[in-house]
Amino acid sequence: MVDMFGLVERLYPICRSITGDGVRETLRVVGEHIPLDLHEVPTGSPAFDWKVPDEWNIRDGWIKNPAGEKIVDFQQLNLHVLNYSEPVHKTVSLEELKQHVFTLPEQPGWVPYRTSYHNRNWGFCMAHRQFEALGEGDYEVFIDSSLEPGSLTYGELLVPGASEKEVLFVTHVCHPSLCNDNLSGIAVATALAQKLAAMETNQSYRFLFLPATIGAITWLSRNQDKLDRIKHGLVLCLLGDNGKFHYKKSRDGNAGIDRIVPRVLKQSVNDFETMEFYPYGYDERQFCSPAFDLPVGRLSRAVHGEFPEYHSSADNLDFVSEVAMQESLDVLQQVVESIEGAETYINLKPECEPQLGRRGLFKPIGGQAETKDYQMALLWILSLSDGHHSLEDIAEQSGLSLDILRKAVDELLKTDLLALASA
Is the dihedral angle over the CA atoms 334, 336, 337, 338 positive or is it negative? positive
**68, 63, 74, 69: which is closest to 98 by C-alpha?**
63
Is the dihedral angle over the CA atoms 5, 9, 14, 17 positive or is it negative? positive
H helices within 288-418, ranges in order? 322-340, 368-384, 391-398, 402-413
Distance CA 372, CA 356 (A): 14
Phi, psi (deg, nearest 5) at residue 149: -55, 135
Q: Annotation-wise, does 181 bind a ligand?
A: yes
C-beta of residue 44 within 8 angstroms of C-beta of residue 38: no
Q: Annotation-wise, does 293 bind a ligand?
A: no
**345, 336, 235, 220: which is closest to 282 by C-alpha?**
235
Burial grade of 382 (CB within 10 A; 0-12, 13-18, 19 or more): buried
Number of neighbours of residue 155 by Cβ within 10 angstroms: 24
Q: Annotation-wise, does 33 bind a ligand?
A: no
C-beta of residue 142 within 8 angstroms of C-beta of residue 100: no
> Based on C-alpha coordinates, what's the Rg of the chain?
25
| Distance from the first to the final alpha carbon of the chain | 36
* Residue 326 bridge partners (DSSP): none
C-beta of residue 27 within 8 angstroms of C-beta of residue 189: no
Distance CA 416, CA 182 (A): 51
Binding-site entries for Zn(2+): 175, 181, 311
Binding-site entries: 175, 181, 311
